[in-house]
Amino acid sequence: MPEKTNEYDADAALRRNAEKIIAGRGQISPLTEAEHNAQRLLHELQVHQVELEMQNEELSRTRDGLETALAQYTDLFDFSPVSYFSLDAQGKILQTNLSGATLLGPPRETLSGRDFGRFVSGPDRQAWADFLKQFLAAHSAVTREFSLETDQGLRHVLAEGVGDGGRCRLAVMDITERKHIQNELQAKTEFLETMFENSPSLMLLVNADGRVVNLNPALEAWLGQPKDALLGRLGGEVLRCLNSFLPEGCGRTQDCADCPVRSRVTRAFASGERVYNEEGSLSLVLDGLAASAHFLISASLVKSGDQVLALVNLIDITERKLAEAALTLAKEAAEAANKSKSLFLATMSHEIRTPLNGMLGMLQLLDLTELDAEQEECVRMATLSSQRLTRLLTDILDLSKVESGVLELAAVEFPLTEVRASIMDIFGFLGRQKGLEVSFTLDERLPPSLVGDGARLRQILLNLAGNAVKFTDSGSVRLEAAPASDPAVSPLSVVFTVTDTGCGIPEGQLGHIFEPFVQVDGSFTRRHGGAGLGLAIVKRLIDLMGGEIAVESAPGQGTTMRVSLPFDLARETALPVAVQPAAEAPGRGLRILLAEDDEINQAAIKRMLEKAGYEVAVVGNGRDVLSLLAEEHFDLIFMDIQMPVMDGLEAVRTIRESAPLGEKANVPVVAMTAFAMAGDKEIFLAAGMDDYIAKPVDRQTLLRIAGRMARTSGYGLRSA
């Protein structure tokens, strides 16, 4: 009866939900008396239809859950730390997981059909043969220890086998370390038995009443009294605590409640917990004089027959406390130096990017004019050199941030087609200049967008593709991206492969190419330039992103680099679409306010925008932005951050909070700045910026952002 009641309740709940959905659709209307029967029947049919739809949705969710669970259980088998093998009746391997292949050594795909007994060490092979027969015939698990000869050397394992109709399943656990521990345990036991007697630390055993039942020779020598004269006395009396010389005696004065040794021993007895190396100071009477001594105090309970005692260990750290004070001063100085370094890096990044922006801006403007072939080549080479300098600056700053642990990864949705386009925009052109075929293929199984740090992915691929093009004189450079796991399950592992037909890497250099400032050719006559930072940055970024990189190369045969990186899936996935070229800004009739204090940057950015049809007004500080915005209408503001009088952050905050500006307070504002360190973008967006572009500014990027932002003229961007 309860089950029927539950089914009735579930059906009733389903019907109520269906009624709500139909009511929300507006399908229920007042009925006339004449239409009542027909409309009621139609309503019932609609309810049943909605109920079926809801049940189908529930079945779909259940199916998706089962598929996810199956993938998870498959991963549990594959990545289990226990090695699993399926063997036939002759002991030949039918299947194994990754742990099994790792344990034995050979590649996983080569193990199928091989005799497992061949991996068993010689002295244990007969035992293995007996074990195989035993668990093949048994109906329950059989366990035995033996040794394997693997690529890692001799490994001790614990195997559990179960027969299964002429086949068997074998679970193998590597217990080499356990064996080592067992062998060491006896030695450690003997060591612990003698440590008390031979330790240079001051050690004593006290009972629950605080009386000493034993002390080691080091304490006996430190006190200068024979052990027999000290046993049975209170701990404070043995240590010659100052309070033990007072009339009240040890443990009875007001200060005894705060005694660091007594409090640790009391805590150990009360809770059973181990007190380890806690600092404390004691006032002692040594050589007839009162002196303060600093100790590291440890206390732990030990059993001695039927007694529970507290083992107290005292380490004199009086000299060390003096050294620590000096180290504290040194640490504060080092932290100040590190802070200065970070400030220096941020300042240098800003100061270098600012003139770079002016230089690249003017080169991009010059490239839009009518040039002869020689002039075009000069502009192209100057642009490439400037971009190379920008990448080198980024690599140096990123290497410093990674090594200091301050580089943070973003987790935002980004389209793979944009990553491909950004790579091909650069290296497609460079490849054509060298006569190379450069391609970038996206596997059709990949979703169009992923969630992760797209900028760092671009940086990795830019470095790898840049090296491939640089070191390839003929042939091709191919980039490929393909899923390495189920494309419908998050996180998705994506493998990016960069293959070239270049000069290759000598085998002796493969282990060093990811070290900073390492060049394959380090001679003065080397053909290819570079600072040797690219692959170092790549390796550190891949590690930071939780990925892996593998290299295959041989001199004269080219190089293949495979990068595996995990990404989360975007909320909605669809089939990949072709890359659409970035539309330039619809500039006619739209007004932009440029806030920039550098005259060269003013001229470069202003002309770029004007050539796209925008009307541009220029000011040199944040205060002038406020004044001009109050008087005139602008569809978009490009705002530098570091400016005199009023900086960009203060200006944008004032705009957003200004009631007199009315709707103008919602004008789109884009930070255009040489501050490009990790976290800068987030700071600017939090301050009220709508977007961010780092200097040096690429013309296409500038116009794409301008076009997107200017289309929100009327300030729908922030008010939406």
Q: Is the pLDDT of residue 716 over 60?
A: no
Asked which of 24-28, 253-257, 705-709 is least confident by mean pLDDT, the reply is 24-28
More confident residue, 78 or 450: 450
Q: Is the pLDDT of residue 103 over 60?
A: yes
Q: Is residue 341 very low, low, confident or very high in pLDDT (cuts 50, 70, 90)? A: low
More confident residue, 581 or 82: 82
Q: Is the pLDDT of residue 488 over 60?
A: yes
| Residue that the structure tokens 């003139």 belong to | 355
Q: Is the pLDDT of residue 720 over 60?
A: no
Is the pTM higher than 0.85? no
Q: What is the pLDDT of residue 193?
A: 74
Q: Is residue 447 very low, low, confident or very high in pLDDT (cuts 50, 70, 90)? A: very high
Q: What is the pLDDT of residue 119?
A: 93
Sign of the Cα pseudo-torsion (653, 656, 659, 660, in order): positive
Helix (H, G, I), strand (E, B) or coil at 251: coil
Q: Is the pLDDT of residue 483 over 90?
A: yes
Q: What is the mean pLDDT of residues 20-46?
A: 65
Q: What is the pLDDT of residue 392?
A: 61
- The percent of residues in the chain predicted with pLDDT above 70, rounded, is 81
Give the span between the Cα atoms of 392 and 386, in whole angstroms.
Answer: 10
Q: What is the pLDDT of residue 30?
A: 56
DSSP 8-state secondary structure symbol assigned to residue 241: B
**Average of per-residue pLDDT values in the chain:** 80
Q: What is the mean pLDDT of residues 603-613?
A: 89
Q: What is the pLDDT of residue 599?
A: 87
Q: Where are the alpha helices (DSSP H) in 453-501?
A: 454-470
Q: How far is CA 438 from the centre of its chain?
A: 31
Give the span between the Cα atoms of 35 and 121, in whole angstroms.
Answer: 89
Q: CB-based burial of residue 330 (10 Å sphere; 0-12 exposed, 13-18 middle, 19+ buried)?
A: exposed
What are the tens digits of pLDDT across the range 210-264? 888 888 888 888 888 888 888 888 877 777 776 666 666 666 666 666 777 877 8
Q: Please report the beta strands in 526-613, taking only residues with DSSP state E, as ranges in sequence order.
A: 548-554, 558-569, 591-595
Q: Is the pLDDT of residue 575 over 50?
A: no
- The percent of residues in the chain predicted with pLDDT above 90, rounded, is 23
Give the span between the Cα atoms of 244 and 283, in whole angstroms.
Answer: 10
Q: Is residue 670 very low, low, confident or very high in pLDDT (cuts 50, 70, 90)? A: very high
Residue type, 524: F
What are the tens digits of pLDDT across the range 168-219? 889 999 999 888 888 887 787 678 778 888 888 888 888 988 888 888 888 8
DSSP 8-state secondary structure symbol assigned to residue 244: G
Q: Is the pLDDT of residue 365 over 60?
A: yes
Q: Is the pLDDT of residue 430 over 60?
A: yes
Q: Shortest CA distance to 543 belongs to which of 399, 691, 652, 422?
A: 399
Question: What is the phi-psi region of residue 115: left when phi exceeds 0, alpha when psi lies from -120 to 50, beta otherwise?
Answer: beta
More confident residue, 633 or 319: 633
Residue 215's DSSP bridge partners are: 204
Asked which of 25-34, 631-640, 683-692 is least confident by mean pLDDT, the reply is 25-34
Q: Is the pLDDT of residue 396 over 90?
A: no
Q: What is the pLDDT of residue 523?
A: 35
What are the tens digits of pLDDT across the range 456-476? 898 889 889 988 888 888 999
Helix (H, G, I), strand (E, B) or coil at 587: coil
Q: What is the pLDDT of residue 1?
A: 47
Q: Is the pLDDT of residue 109 over 70?
A: yes
Task: Quickly count helices (H) and strands (E) in the chain.
Answer: 19, 22
Q: What is the pLDDT of residue 496?
A: 96
What are the tens digits of pLDDT across the range 266-282? 888 888 888 888 887 77
- Helices 2-24 + 36-78 axis angle, to 10: 110
More confident residue, 426 or 143: 143
Q: What is the mean pLDDT of residues 572-592?
A: 53
Q: What is the pLDDT of residue 714?
A: 56
Q: What is the pLDDT of residue 383?
A: 74
Q: Is the pLDDT of residue 719 over 50?
A: no
Q: What is the mean pLDDT of residues 524-529?
A: 37
Q: What is the pLDDT of residue 494?
A: 95
More confident residue, 98 or 584: 98
Asked which of 8-17, 89-98, 422-431, 608-617 is least confident by mean pLDDT, the reply is 8-17
Q: What is the pLDDT of residue 314?
A: 86
Q: Is the pLDDT of residue 442 over 60?
A: yes
Residue type, 355: P
Instruction: Evaluate whether 412 touches 681 at the Cβ level (below 8 Å).
Output: no
Question: What is the phi-psi region of residue 629: left when phi exceeds 0, alpha when psi lies from -120 to 50, beta otherwise?
Answer: alpha
